[in-house]
Structure 1
Amino acid sequence: MQATVNATDIVRAIEVWRPQDAGGPFALCSCVYGDDDHIEEGRRLRRFELGEGIVGQSAQTGQPHIRSCEDLIDDGIDLAHSHVVSIPFMHSGQCKGVVLLACDESEGNQGAMELWRPNDRGELGLAEAWHSNLERFGLISKYVKFPRRAGLPGKVWADRFPRVMGSLGTSQQFLRAAGAKAEGLSTGIGIPLMRTAMQLDSVLVLLSANRTPIARAMEVWAMDPDSKKLKIVSADYGAFMDLAPMSRQLSLGIGEGIAVHVLRDCAPWATWDLLGVEFPRGEKFLEYGFRWGLGMPVFVGSEIRAVAVLIN
């Protein structure tokens, strides 16, 4: 337990950019910075029009991208030895927000961000990726293809619904399990990014290692049709297994939790205030050294199908 509590957080920055009106520009709405909080003041002053920078490009096209921060100097993202994924959240053709998630790729830091897109053979192929210190796993991934319902990306594609998968190294459902076990990857989440209610743009996959986690807790929340409250339908807490029972028993209503905040605004949101937001779990999160949370809506057409939550 203690080794995991002291794990290295490789997430250097989380930014949530939201439009100030229906057509933009996009301004920084919420953010999480670890040791790089000195950049916040400058980022708060930035604005991105549709098509401008990685934020504006993702908002305009509805397409996510993975880029080295060294290639984003004009965007003002001054984070050396890092990669960033831009994630747009499209609601009936309108961008409700763009998340920038930046991860440190320094020596020893392991993790992966992947974008899987349909090809002309009706399969998902790897379109863009960042595999930090995972050369063998990254090489294998270039040649893997996923039909519908095959592996984590294929299941997310078929269901048009996000999914968390734990114990990657031993999971029969994770088709790259041998590579994950060899490289120490532990948990993954797949999120569908839809062009329309029926047409997929891509599946975003984030793969986390115990020693250098992108997130130590990954959750998917959806509306329970009977109680009309949000409940967990898929989650993994790694070594923090005692979080699982209390989390799965939660039934979130108005004003409760990251997932409800996202559902209320129909937009992504990041927070440092786990104690204040995640009652009654906040005290446990702080006890285990968790510091931040990120919630992301999963839109299918005009409907929010689920909310994906990362906590670390």
Structure 2
Amino acid sequence: MSKTAFIRAAEIWLPTADGTELVLGSGLYGPLHAFAELSRDTRFRKGEGLPGEAWAARHPIVMRSLATSTFRRIAAAAEAGLTSGIAMPIFSGDAIRAVVVLFCGDAADQVGAIEVWSNDPETDAQIGLHDGYYGGAELFEMTSRMKRFGKGFGLPGTVWAAEMPMVFREIYRSERFLRQEEARQVGLTLGLGLPFDGDPGKTWIMVFLSALGTPIAGRFEVWVPDGSGGLIYETGLSEAATDVSAAGRPTRIAAGDGLLGAVLASGLPVASADCAADAAWLVDPGEPAEAHSALAMPCLDAAGALKAVTAWRF
């Protein structure tokens, strides 16, 4: 991960055998070696630190500043240039399966948006912004905090209705993206929406909006179960183009086959520092595969069944 990327590091936290703590399963840290070393020796109980807070809340958490007493790696994060974090818990029924944590860098130099939208049907018929991190996109943040969407409207409402991961291309001129003028002004181009079903009775949607200069990820892909124990490609987008090339992409991924097959086999998120070995097709033509890392996340329904796998190439 480079210093220009909106996401500077990623972690996967897994429960211990007795289910009382979270330990680091794997991480993508790029050159942040000291922060990585500290993280390997860190554990979190439910409610502790950013991963533990997401575990306890049962929904995604945005920590807009890591210089807070509840974040346990403050000095190391500051030294690494990490300023904010997002934690996404993955549940199978009542059991925590994993927590994925993403870290961002200096807000003054970054443009993009990571949002958490929520709906409680007992109090509201629309979905509203729960929290978000916007880097330097202050105008877009102001507009977003005033917006609410019905089911099927805007990116959050569309993901809410579909209950599936979705990608949005050229959001600055899409009629389905109801903040297109604000997106155009700050340079936001691509979007990804993810549903989370860990909080019974409530709806939680994460929205990732990417700018060309500081992309959240170089490529997103969504794969879905094919009904016979494998995965097939559904949709995707990349920073280099509004659509993604099919060059080298497998027509079907079996359980245990590479990065996405590992997610299919385990039901857990998986990180790889080597796209060349684990998911070479995620690299755009002409780019060296060995220069990229990748993250794959399962999207589970409330009962823990796999609905989709999202692949992120950094």
Report the TM-score when normalising by structure 2. Answer: 0.89
* AA aligned opposite 1:50: K
> 2:12·2:99 contact (CA, 8 Å) conserved in 1?
yes
Moved more, 106-115 or 67-76: 67-76
Confirm or deny that 1:79 pairs with 2:82.
no
Distance between the aligned counterparts of 1:105 and 1:7, measured in 2?
9
Partner of 1:134: 137
| 1:221-272 alpha-carbon deviations (Å, 9 max, x no partner) | 10123x5421121211232468422366631113323222112111112111
> 1:152·1:173 contact (CA, 8 Å) conserved in 2?
yes
* AA aligned opposite 1:110: V
Candidates 9, 26, 31, aligned match of 2:27: 31
> 1:192·1:200 contact (CA, 8 Å) conserved in 2?
no
Candidates 202, 205, 214, aligned match of 2:204: 202
Q: CA deviation at 1:195?
A: 3.2
Moved over 4 A (4+): 240-243, 279-286
| 1:30-81 alpha-carbon deviations (Å, 9 max, x no partner) | 1011232221111111111222222122123312110111125642153235
RMSD: 2.4
Candidates 53, 59, 77, aligned match of 2:55: 59
Task: Classify the secondary structure of the residue corresponding to 2:156.
Answer: helix
> 2:194·2:206 contact (CA, 8 Å) conserved in 1?
yes
Partner of 2:40: 44
Partner of 1:157: 160
Structure 1 206/289 Cα, relative in aligned 2: closer, same or farther at 3 Å?
farther
Structure 1 247/92 Cα, relative in aligned 2: closer, same or farther at 3 Å?
farther
Report the TM-score when normalising by structure 1. Answer: 0.90
> 1:169·1:185 contact (CA, 8 Å) conserved in 2?
yes
List runs of 5+ in structure 1 lacking aligned partners: 1-5
Structure 1 297/242 Cα, relative in aligned 2: closer, same or farther at 3 Å?
closer
How many residue pairs align between the two structures?
A: 305
* AA aligned opposite 2:168: M
List runs of 5+ in structure 2 lacking aligned partners: none
Distance between the aligned counterparts of 1:288 and 1:166, measured in 2?
24
> 1:290·1:311 contact (CA, 8 Å) conserved in 2?
no
Moved more, 256-265 or 93-102: 256-265
Q: How do 1:139-288 residues align onto structure 2 when only pairs under 5 Å count? A: 139-195=142-198, 199-225=201-227, 228-240=229-241, 243-246=244-247, 250-279=251-280, 284=285, 286-287=287-288
> 1:259·1:309 contact (CA, 8 Å) conserved in 2?
yes
Structure 1 288/273 Cα, relative in aligned 2: closer, same or farther at 3 Å?
closer
Q: CA deviation at 1:27?
A: 0.6
Candidates 124, 127, 133, aligned match of 1:121: 124
